[in-house]
Amino acid sequence: MPKKDLNIQQAADLLGVSVKTIRRHISNGNIKAYKFGRLIRIKPEDLKTGYREIPNAKTLNGKRA
């Protein structure tokens, strides 16, 4: 059975980020996506390879910069 491609909301929920973040990564070319009519779809394997979580930037004393 073929895997279903994800919409932007499903991808955001899966990664624990906002829809805006997913859209930004698509625009930057970090995540491959395609249009199916008016809908934007993402293949699960492209989501895994295209997105890597960036850790929060902190200073040496543990506080945010």
pLDDT in tens, 27-39: 988 899 999 999 9
| Token pair 């624990």 in the structure block, residue | 16
pLDDT in tens, 40-60: 999 999 888 776 654 444 555
| Token pair 């850790």 in the structure block, residue | 55
CA–CA dist 21, 52 (Å, integer): 12
Looking at this protein, which amino acid is placed at residue 43?
A: K
Whole-prediction pTM: 0.71
